[in-house]
Amino acid sequence: MMKEIEEVSYISVSCDTSNHGVTKLLPILIQYYDIHNIGITTRILEILTITDETSDTITDKILTELEKHSLSSKCVAFSGDNCNTNFGGRDRAGQSNVYAKLKGRLQKQIIGVGCPAHIINNTVHKGCDNFSIDIESIVMKIYNYFSVFTVRTEALKDFCQESDVEYSKLLYHSKTRWLSLYPAIERLLKLFKPLKNYFLSLENPPKVLKIFFENDFSEAFLFTIHSTMNIMHTNIETIERADNSIIEVRKILKEIIHNLKQRINQKFMPLKVKEILREIENIGKSTTEFIEEINNFYITMANYLESWIKPLEELDVFEWMDVSKINSAQWSDLEASLEFLRSRNIIVDEEKLFNEFLCFQKFVKDLPVDESTTNCNKLWCNFFKEYEADKNCQEMKKIAQFFFCLPAHNANVERVFSLITNQWTKERNKLQPQTISEIIKTIYNFKMTCEEFYQYLLKCDKKVLKDIGSSEKYTDKN
């Protein structure tokens, strides 16, 4: 890993915290662009244990690791979730957050990237605040009502049979899990009729659930959120791809905003919701208040998302690098990128870059008609493989290494937590944090199958094999 890093000019750093029992963990990851291999590359620098989650502690730990690996001068960006500790809120205000302290301690401007998947998740939460019904609480309360009670579940199965609905287990939703609301609501809609019949048949049902199922609009609310969550769910999965660039993610976020605004302008409403509203109107009840709530739902989400992605606007100067823009890219597009880089004391030789840009234009023009590359990272990797050897492309490489080291999301850190959970099980609860750290770094940083790792060991320094076979205890020095 360190050999790869020596050859790159820029890196970004990402982190997050999570508890494993009483142990508080802080994985610190870096991202860089390796033109000789897979392009966008993330690696774990270290997984640390900390006693608190203050901005001072996190900043100190990040800087210590960067300095240990001689990376401070190469760091151009920081990524984390959007909590106040990391960024000081939406407007990046104040100096008591990790982002501000990193800029101060590194004594340079760095780019701050909040997690877009986290922003989308919060967008839905914010939109749902417009509803007269707390849908998320309802989803969780219904799940909890049945989760550990077999008798209640069996009774619900009977109601499913009466309604000719196939029973399926209700799904758990957590406000901190980005993708859990959509499938939970989807399952609730599938079982809506038997659930409604079940709760309204009880002599003393939970009051909040009784009120919910007696509400004529309850199912319409669920269908509206489900329709919107379908967009969010699909896009979060796309956003969290490991090889995404920040411009591709920003494009997705702008598409979501456009979709929400068109729903407002065209008064979009799912057909199932319209059907429910017609039935309500046929019995003489007004639907005006519900329609207003739905409109405010869309408006709030569009405004919230727009305000939170505003810090990413400065990166629009790199849009020409995206697959969708390369055919129309002109030298003037690169000039905006050069001005941005110059403001960060990154100097590019314009004369050399212009010649390299002509090579890039030729590369794009010569792409096969059936070329199906839609991934920005893959396209640029192919360009450097074809031209780097004979044309050098040092200036273009400098831009690519800067641009592609910028994190598109913080999902890579979440993947590390998942790996930790898989390794640090109840059966292996005696493992020390340092041992877990080394296991996870090996799994994550090598990204090899068992067979590939075996072949790698055979080819590496023989001392490594000797140390593995030794009966001596491992130390940090080894």
Confidence of residue 389 (pLDDT cuts 50, 70, 90): low
pLDDT at 284 (0 to 100): 95
Best CA proximity match to 65, nearest among 4, 9, 11, 7: 11
pLDDT at 157 (0 to 100): 97
| pLDDT above 60: residue 476 | no
What average pLDDT does the segment 17-27 reach? 92
What average pLDDT does the segment 437-458 reach? 86
What average pLDDT does the segment 47-69 reach? 96
What average pLDDT does the segment 362-368 reach? 89
End-to-end CA distance of the chain: 17
| pLDDT above 70: residue 373 | no
pLDDT at 454 (0 to 100): 82
pTM of the model: 0.87
* Distance from C-alpha of 146 to C-alpha of 374, rounded to nearest angstrom: 45
Give the percent of the chain with pLDDT over 90: 74
* Distance from C-alpha of 111 to C-alpha of 80, rounded to nearest angstrom: 12
The one-letter amino acid code at 263 reads R
Q: How far is CA 403 from the centre of its chain?
A: 18
* Distance from C-alpha of 277 to C-alpha of 223, rounded to nearest angstrom: 12
Residue indicated by tokens 């620098």: 45
Confidence of residue 478 (pLDDT cuts 50, 70, 90): very low
pLDDT at 350 (0 to 100): 95
What average pLDDT does the segment 342-346 reach? 94
Range in 295-299, 315-319, 410-414 with the lowest mean pLDDT:
410-414
Query: Where do the CATH 3.30.420.10 domains begin and end in the chain?
Result: 1-115+409-447
Range in 22-31, 77-86, 105-114, 461-470 with the lowest mean pLDDT:
461-470
| pLDDT above 50: residue 221 | yes
| pLDDT above 80: residue 239 | yes
Query: Does domain 1-115+409-447 sit in CATH 3.40.1170.60?
Result: no
Best CA proximity match to 405, nearest among 23, 66, 113: 113
pLDDT at 312 (0 to 100): 92
pLDDT at 475 (0 to 100): 61
Sign for the CA dihedral angle at 352, 358, 362, 365 comes to: positive
DSSP lists the bridge partners of residue 20 as: 23
Predicted confidence (pLDDT) per residue in 162-217, tens digit: 999 999 999 988 766 657 888 999 999 999 999 999 999 999 999 999 999 999 99
pLDDT at 237 (0 to 100): 86
pLDDT at 176 (0 to 100): 62
pLDDT at 441 (0 to 100): 94
Rounded to a whole number of angstroms, the CA Rg of the chain reads 26
Q: Six-digit token pair at 40?
A: 């966008």
* Distance from C-alpha of 231 to C-alpha of 181, rounded to nearest angstrom: 12
What average pLDDT does the segment 397-405 reach? 96
| pLDDT above 70: residue 412 | yes
Predicted confidence (pLDDT) per residue in 116-153, tens digit: 988 998 899 899 999 999 998 999 999 999 998 999 99
| pLDDT above 90: residue 474 | no
